[in-house]
Amino acid sequence: MFRQMVKKKILGKNSEPASLTMLGISCHLKDYRLSFLINQIPGFDLSKGDDFNYILSPPKGEARFSFYSCQNEEKQNSYYLISNRSQEFILIPELKQFDFLLMIDGKCSKGDKESLMKTIRSIPGILTIVESNFSSVRNFENLLTDLEMHVMNIRRIPVIKYQPKLN
């Protein structure tokens, strides 16, 4: 008998996931206020999820970062708004100029991306929004794996066990 093996795509050092876009946002807004203002954009319905726990370099330990998510069925995209700063730490030190990261999982055309960035840039309190590439992030593969696990845990549907009635 053959066992089916799971295929894992290994990304090269300078390659980026094809269906993931990362936008860095600099602003003076709190996470809940930013998500509320982004939710005014059609197609967005960000909701607060469990904080994203990420283990930083060994001397630093674990840190918690605020996490919001939504899905746009029409565009078949998922959006994740993640704080780049906790009380003491920065999630991605290479992108320390950004307060938040907006990740778009799914195909996003250049026109849609530019339109979204222009709309977010017009929100009062937004200083800048810039598309960031993953090649500038030292351990982005580990970060993406942890984010994927976090999203899977949030979407986990509780299993209801069938228990027959005993007379």
Higher-pLDDT residue of 155, 120: 120
In the chain, what are the domains? 20-155 (3.30.310)
Bridge partners for 104 per DSSP: 21, 79
pLDDT at 10: 42
By DSSP bridging, strand 100-105 and strand 77-83 are antiparallel
User: How many Cβ atoms sit within 10 Å of the Cβ of residue 53?
Assistant: 13
pLDDT tens for residues 107-148?
888 999 999 999 999 999 999 999 988 777 887 888 888 888
Q: How far apart are CA 120 and CA 22, in angstroms?
A: 14
By DSSP bridging, strand 67-72 and strand 77-83 are antiparallel
Q: Is the pLDDT of residue 60 over 50?
A: yes
Q: How high is the mean pLDDT of the chain?
A: 82
Confidence of residue 8 (pLDDT cuts 50, 70, 90): very low
pLDDT at 15: 47
Whole-number percent of the chain with pLDDT over 70: 80
Higher-pLDDT residue of 118, 150: 118
CA count, 13 A, side-chain hemisphere, 133: 6
Q: Is the pTM of this model over 0.85?
A: no
pLDDT tens for residues 40-50?
999 899 999 99
Over residues 4-23, the mean pLDDT reads: 56
pLDDT at 23: 95
